């Protein structure tokens, strides 16, 4: 897998805005290295959990196979884990990607589709019990900002996706590239994947 990397974010009704657009801010800052698109239930507007809509470039069924998949969380995940058509599509489409990532409860969708079987993973700490129920064959890590296990990258809740995205940039292009992006978007990058005060706040450790 060589740059430019084709990255597609999965949209669905009730997706979490920052789960998608935090990481896309990172990858989009390197537009010569990442080609970014979004796939939704249909091409066109998809309503987020917060209300604003985003425009999907592709319908799920017609989305080209990407190099990198990004699956967000949000309240829409709760119904999708019981949608066999969506899960079958996600398993086949995302399973062929070189790298599969998730933010927040997006890891619950990956787990429900069988894409985290045999992997270590994490999720939003306020919804950690729910995410864990979706993947009994997954080794869930309660205290982690993000977890990388081979070609699977999963992050904790919402803003943690930015740290994971920077870590993925560092993995693919080198730390200097990640630091440059972090400075450009004026974020303090938590480089330690084990930095996670929210696990304790939510009684997980």
Task: Give me Rg for the CA atoms of the chain.
Answer: 15
Number of other residues whose CB lies within 10 A of the CB of residue 103: 34
Straight-line distance from the first to the last Cα atom of the chain, in angstroms, rounded to the nearest whole number? 37
- The active-site residue out of 38, 87, 104, 165 is 104
User: Could you write out the DSSP letters of every residue in 120-153?
Assistant: EE---GGGHHHHHHH-TTSEE-SS-SEEEETTEE
The SS3 of residue 193 is coil
For residue 104, indicate whether it is catalytic: yes
Strand residue runs (E) in the chain: 5-10, 34-40, 44-47, 53-56, 58-59, 68-71, 99-102, 120-121, 139-140, 146-149, 152-155
Return d(Cα 155, Cα 166) in angstroms, integer: 12
The SS3 of residue 57 is coil
The catalytic residue positions are: 104
């Amino acid at each position: 897998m060589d740059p430019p990397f084709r990255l597609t974010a999965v949209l669905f009704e009730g997706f979490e805005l920052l789960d998608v657009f935090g990481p896309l801010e990172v990858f989009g800052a390197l537009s010569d290295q990442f080609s970014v698109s979004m796939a939704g239930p249909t091409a066109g507007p998809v309503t987020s959990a917060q209300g604003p809509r985003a425009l999907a470039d592709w319908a799920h069924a017609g989305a080209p196979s990407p190099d990198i998949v990004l699956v967000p969380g949000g309240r829409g995940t709760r119904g999708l884990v019981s949608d066999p058509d969506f899960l079958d599509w996600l398993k086949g489409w995302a399973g062929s990607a070189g790298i599969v990532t998730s933010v927040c409860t997006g890891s619950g969708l990956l787990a429900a589709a069988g894409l985290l079987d045999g992997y270590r993973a994490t999720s939003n700490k306020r919804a950690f019990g729910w995410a864990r129920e979706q993947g009994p064959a997954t080794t869930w890590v309660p205290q982690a900002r993000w977890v990388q296990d081979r070609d699977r990258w999963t992050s904790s809740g919402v803003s943690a996706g930015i740290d994971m995205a920077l870590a993925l940039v560092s993995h693919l292009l080198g730390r200097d590239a990640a630091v440059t992006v972090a400075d450009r978007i004026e974020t303090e990058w938590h480089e330690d994947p084990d930095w996670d005060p929210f696990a304790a706040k939510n009684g997980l450790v």
